[in-house]
Amino acid sequence: MEEDQELERKISGLKTQMAEGERKTALEMVQAAGTDRHCVTFVLHEEDHTLGNSLRYMIMKNPEVEFCGYTTTHPSESKINLRIQTRGALPAVEPFQRGLTELMNVCQHVLDKFEASIKEYKDHKAGRKESTF
């Protein structure tokens, strides 16, 4: 019992250590001199087209966004540059945050629908098996 507790404490300690190390490099924001906060380039480390394209789609669906595009800097480097320009004076961080939240909601909904569909298929198959006896 005591050994298990010790193991749990050790794991949580290691996890936060790793999280702190990663925090410093996962996301950067670059802004050109002279512009205000409505044009920003976000550098996302350890990411590629998987998140880049889907996030770009969600952000483009926002009517306040004038421009959104992403690019992989070089195939050997695993990071993407995501640029957002908004109409008017809306700070670019806002559509970025909204895009992430909306993408999360889409995934949650897809997950729910998918699991419901799988369950329905399994029940239907089980029902059919029973009825053949």
Partner 1 sequence: MAAAQAVEEMRSRVVLEEFGVRNVHTTDFPGNYSGYDDAWDQDRFEKNFRVDVVHMDENSLEFDMVGIDAAIANAFRRILLAEVPTMAVEKVLVYNNTSIVQDEILAHRLGLIPIHADPRLFEYRNQGEEEGTEIDTLQFRLQVRCTRNPHAAKDSSDPNELYVNHKVYTRHMTWVPLGNQADLFPEGTIRPVHDDILIAQLRPGQEIDLLMQCVKGIGKKVARVANPRLDTFSREVFRNEKLKKVVRLARVRDHYIFSVESTGVLPPEVLVSEAIKVLMGKCRRFLDELDAVQMD
In the complex, the residues that contact partner 1 under the rule CB under 8 A are 3, 7, 11, 14, 18, 23, 26-27, 29, 44, 47-51, 53-58, 60-63, 78, 93, 96-97, 100-111, 113-118, 120-122, 125
Torsion, Cα 87 90 94 98, to 10 degrees, reads: -50
The two three-digit tokens of residue 94, written as one number = 């806002």
Closer CB to partner 1, residue 35 or residue 53?
A: 53
> 3-state DSSP call for residue 46?
coil
Least distance from partner 1 to the Cβ atom of residue 14, Å? 6
Calculate Rg over the CA atoms of the chain: 22
Least distance from partner 1 to the Cβ atom of residue 131, Å? 19
Number of neighbours of residue 101 by Cβ within 10 angstroms = 11
Separation CA 31–CA 56 (nearest Å): 19
Least distance from partner 1 to the Cβ atom of residue 5, Å? 13
Separation CA 121–CA 113 (nearest Å): 12
Least distance from partner 1 to the Cβ atom of residue 40, Å? 12
Closer CB to partner 1, residue 11 or residue 32?
A: 11
